[in-house]
Amino acid sequence: MSRNARRGWLVATATMMAICVFAIWQSLLLSLTDRLGPGPGFFSFWLSLLGVLFAGLLILDVWRKPVIESDETLFPRGESAFRVLIIIGAVAGATLLMGWVGFELAMLVFIAVLTFALGERRWYAIGLFAIAGSFGVYYVFTRWLDVLLPPGPWAA
């Protein structure tokens, strides 16, 4: 692992660990249990605790790997950088569109763009994955799990 790659992994993992520690602190402000079972802070507490544990293990793993001198850069170049920009733009676009067009359509476009950006070129695979990941997930979360997701403008 090059010195730049090692530094990038350490910074990213330490940032993730800090976010998880913050989430633990915030979840402890909520009740971990209530009279029916797990409270509002239960899952966020345990998931954040797992995040801290895994981030710590990853930091130890990266720290133990030998440093190899290389001219490798920290940031991607060329087609890889273009893919990263497409993915960041797709995340931002889905976030902005979700309130206007709802979860289903925003995720349909996001998943299609993401799948294409990650290298899939078969239109039927992109379409099937996007439909299952948008309409299927919306149906499961709203009907079976009673989780509110942003509906489209046609919803009653």
Domain for residue 72, yes or no?
no
Domain for residue 155, yes or no?
no
pLDDT at 54: 97
Q: Domain count for the chain, please give it.
A: 2
Query: What angle separates helix 3-28 from helix 42-64, to the nearest 10 degrees?
Result: 160
Based on the domain organization, do 8 and 60 belong to the same domain? yes
Taking every pair of Cα atoms in the chain, the longest distance, rounded to a whole number of angstroms, is 61
Based on the domain organization, do 52 and 7 belong to the same domain? yes
Based on the domain organization, do 51 and 94 belong to the same domain? no
Residue length of the chain: 156
DSSP 144: I
Based on the domain organization, do 96 and 44 belong to the same domain? no
Per-residue pLDDT reduced to its tens digit, 26-68: 999 998 888 888 888 899 999 999 999 999 999 999 999 988 8
Where do runs of H (alpha helix) occur along 29-119?
42-64, 79-117
pLDDT at 51: 97
Based on the domain organization, do 58 and 86 belong to the same domain? no
Domain for residue 152, yes or no?
no
Last residue of a domain, one of 64, 87, 110: 64
User: Token digits for 98?
Assistant: 């979700």
Based on the domain organization, do 106 and 54 belong to the same domain? no
Based on the domain organization, do 83 and 58 belong to the same domain? no
Which stretches of the chain drop beneath a pLDDT of 70?
Answer: 72, 74, 155-156
Look up the domain containing 88 and give its range. Answer: 79-144
Domain for residue 84, yes or no?
yes
